[in-house]
Amino acid sequence: MAEKTVDAYIQGLEPWQAEIAAQGRAILMKAALEAKESIKWAQPVYESDGPFAYFKAFKNAVNFGFWRGVDLDDPHGLLSGDGEKMRHVKLSSPDAIDADQFTAFIRQALELNRRKGDPIKNK
């Protein structure tokens, strides 16, 4: 069985979900040129010094999440979640993506991984 790719993941989504995912992915890849992209835990995951971001499609939204989300500066209150570390932005339309804020989250997440190491190994 061939390994699933991020392209295949996006192609398998509903058109509105695929549009959100593709836009978010483009912002992610532009802001994190060094990031490794793969499918892990049945979703696209982005890694640099360990995982820092992911996205996952749900019935009514596409979530873009960050492993160290609780540590991110979130001046507009976009991040949600109640886990110990992870937070996500829930998007239900392509117009909901704030590219500047999303880029800021990505850059912060990368810096946190550079300073603290892999968030899975170094909690």
What does the pLDDT look like over 7-47, one tens digit per residue?
999 999 999 999 999 999 999 999 999 999 999 999 999 99
Contact 24, 97 (CB under 8 A): yes
Q: Does position 53 have pLDDT exceeding 90, yes or no?
A: yes
* pLDDT for res 3: 60
pTM of the model: 0.93
Cα distances from 33 to residues 15, 30, 47, 101, 110, in angstroms, run 26, 6, 11, 17, 11
What pLDDT digit, counting tens, does each position of 71-101 carry? 999 999 999 999 899 999 999 999 999 999 9
Confidence of residue 123 (pLDDT cuts 50, 70, 90): low
Q: Which domains does the chain have, with CATH numbers?
A: 6-116 (3.90.1150.200)
